[in-house]
Amino acid sequence: MNVAIIGCGVMGKMHAEMAVRCGLKVVVCADNFQKAANELAQKYGADSTNNSQPALSRDDVDIVVIATPTTTHAALVQAAAKEGKHIFCEKPFCRTVAECKSSIDVAKEHGVKLFIGHVVRYFQEFEAVRAQLQQGVVGEPGFAHLYRGGAYPAGQDNWFQNYKLSGGVTLDCMIHDLDWIRFVFGEPERIFCQALQRSNPETLDYSQVTMRMKSGLIAKVIGTWAHPSGFHVKIEVCGSKGMVQFDSNDVPLTSERRGEGAAVGTIVPSSPVLKSPYLLEWEDFLGWLEGRHEPRVTPEDGLHAVAMATAALKSAETKAPVTL
Span 82-118, pLDDT tens digits: 999 999 999 999 999 999 999 999 999 999 999 999 9
Are residues 244 and 138 in contact, defined by beta-carbon separation less than 8 angstroms? yes
Q: 3-state DSSP call for residue 213?
A: strand
**What digits encode the pLDDT tens for the residues 132-171?**
999 999 999 999 999 999 988 887 777 887 888 888 999 9
Are residues 227 and 149 in contact, defined by beta-carbon separation less than 8 angstroms? yes
Q: 3-state DSSP call for residue 79?
A: helix
Mean pLDDT of 275-298: 97
Q: Where in the chain is the domain with CATH 3.30.360.10?
A: 120-275+297-323
Q: In this predicted structure, what is the pLDDT of residue 255?
A: 44
Are residues 191 and 321 in contact, defined by beta-carbon separation less than 8 angstroms? yes
Question: 2-117 falls under which CATH superfamily?
Answer: NAD(P)-binding Rossmann-like Domain (3.40.50.720)
Residues 6+ apart with CB under 8 A from 314: 322
Q: Where in the chain is the domain with CATH 3.40.50.720?
A: 2-117
The one-character DSSP state at 152 is: P
What is the pTM for the complete model shown? 0.91
pLDDT above 70 (res 63): yes
Q: What whole-number distance in Å separates Cα of residue 177 and Cα of residue 171?
A: 10
**What digits encode the pLDDT tens for the residues 208-256?**
999 999 999 999 999 999 888 888 999 999 999 999 999 998 754 444 4
Question: 120-275+297-323 falls under which CATH superfamily?
Answer: Dihydrodipicolinate Reductase; domain 2 (3.30.360.10)
